[in-house]
Chains A and B, each alone.
Chain A
């Protein structure tokens, strides 16, 4: 087996300010990798580079053996709407607020050439069900949904084309604890059922523990520790990780 995603010495700066540097890891098919670290440690920068939203300065990103940094923009966009998905922290960044729930879910299908209204609608209905949104809400706009529903809609919109690799930036941030728990359950089920590979950014170690097979801890743009989730959380090696874990356990 070969890794789905191989990252080698990835770096990105914003002028003089460091975003992330010398990041290397492999992501295997069906694996969930959590990225944790304090605010400003470079998590979103790394995720943005991986997904092609940001242009990295150095290093290589090999997706199924192909260097995505060397791809043309059309090739990368095609990947982004077929094999990849991106779930934003704020559903407003990932949804079209002026378009119905059904249209939001159907967009990716139409983007890859679906031209049968009945089939698009059936797929949208099916996906709303899978994220626990009643089929009767299919023609409502996202504004009429609660925050948790909006986030579930964003997930349906992303997964409808059956991607292999999903990037998530704090998908449960900004939600009530009970709503968070339900969303995490749902995500865990979908990841398992669809065999998704996931890179998920979170500063919530409880979320990391629940979803991630492996963890990467970032500080000041660098990866300071990585390993199996239980190992990292139960037996942290780096002093900073120890601090991070202990401060969370105190909460």
Chain B
């Protein structure tokens, strides 16, 4: 190991950027993660095992995504971090601060200005472009897990393209609820080969996975898996002929910016149960408002 690789963070002292290697992880670890990423890019949708490291944050905070981000960052990057579409949640703020401190990279909340976006549970509304990287935080990478708990067996199913079980899950949904009730982490088939869990994004976002110009990388820290969707890859959501996939959302427009085609969060606004719908993608919403778009509850500001 190099001297640099053995240099450790010293948590008992106030954190200073000189205490860490660039982006916290040592170079050997980053190389190991990059090798896994390259393999993932070469075999779209295939889960590559990697030796996940302890990160100075709990697993639930997306340590897999953080490690992938750390392995991809270069000093010229401009980083955006979102959690459920928002840049200002505790999780997003902490991860952004973490990389500001350990990598000194510039950050932004603007999708179009970012070179690397780490996300939990959403794909930005604004179409991504070539050269951008989208890093997903993944809790459970194995889409077959809920029906087949044995890892040896799910691995063999992937190897042999034995995916009948995935449709059994959808069959069960329809039998029980009259429709495919899966609305998050909706399974997809990547490049006509591997079945993949797209992480808990709403199924509304599934179409954006396909033919996307950006590099999409997925990191699961606790489960130690990395997978990827290269740019312009076909990603198909699984379904039945007589129960086709539908990327649904609330049947409303954003009450702040008026967008009719973006994914909405429902917000309770008072004790009487009044509700409003707002874009879950806060950057998209504020950008639209800045451009003069107005929603139902935002009209007076026009004047």
Residues of A within 8 A of B (CB): 73-74, 77, 81, 96, 98-100, 102-103, 106-112, 115-118, 120-121, 138-139
Contact = CB atoms under 8 A, between A and B. Distances in A.
A5 to B, nearest CB: 23
A102 B241 contact: no
Given A110-B168, A116-B242, 11 more contacts: A81-B162, A100-B176, A103-B168, A103-B172, A107-B168, A110-B164, A111-B162, A112-B164, A116-B240, A116-B241, A139-B175
Contacts of A115: 167, 239-241
Contacts of B243: 117
Interface string B123-163: 00000000000000000000000010000000000001111
Nearest to B172: A103
Nearest to A119: B242
Interface in B163-177: 163-165, 167-168, 171-172, 174-176
A106 B240 CA distance: 13
B160 A77 contact: yes
A99 B160 contact: no
Given A99-B147, A116-B240, A117-B240, A106 B174 contact: no
Contact of B175 (A77, A98, A100, A116): A100
Given A73-B160, A116-B241, A110 B167 contact: yes
A77 B159 CA distance: 12
Interface in B204-260: 239-243
Contacts, number: 58
A117 B242 contact: yes
17 contacts: A74-B160, A77-B160, A81-B164, A99-B172, A100-B176, A102-B175, A103-B168, A106-B168, A106-B171, A107-B164, A110-B171, A115-B167, A115-B241, A116-B241, A117-B240, A138-B175, A139-B175
B164 A77 contact: no
A29 B120 CA distance: 57
B160 A120 contact: no
Contacts of A99: 147, 168, 172
B226 to A, nearest CB: 25
Contacts of B168: 96, 99, 103, 106-107, 110
Which of B164, B171, B239 has the most CB atoms of chain A within a 10 A radius of its CB?
B171
Nearest to B170: A117
Contacts of B241: 115-117
B160 A117 contact: no
Nearest to B165: A107
B131 to A, nearest CB: 37
A108 B171 CA distance: 12
Contacts of A100: 172, 175-176
Contacts of B174: 117
Contacts of A109: 164
Interface string B169-201: 001101110000000000000000000000000
Contact of A96 (B147, B161, B163, B242): B147
A108 B172 contact: no
5 tightest A-B contacts by CB?
A111-B164, A110-B167, A110-B164, A117-B240, A116-B241
Contacts of B242: 116-118
A58 B166 CA distance: 36
A121 B241 CA distance: 13
B162 A103 contact: no
Contacts of A138: 175
B236 to A, nearest CB: 12
Contacts of B162: 77, 81, 111
B171 A102 contact: yes
B240 A108 contact: no
Nearest to A114: B167
Nearest to A118: B242
A239 B240 CA distance: 59
Contacts of A103: 168, 171-172, 175
A83 to B, nearest CB: 16
A73 B239 CA distance: 27
Contacts of B171: 102-103, 106, 110, 117, 120
A98 to B, nearest CB: 7
Contacts of A77: 160, 162
B123 to A, nearest CB: 26
A56 B160 CA distance: 21
A96 B175 CA distance: 16
A79 B176 CA distance: 31
B63 to A, nearest CB: 30
B150 to A, nearest CB: 12
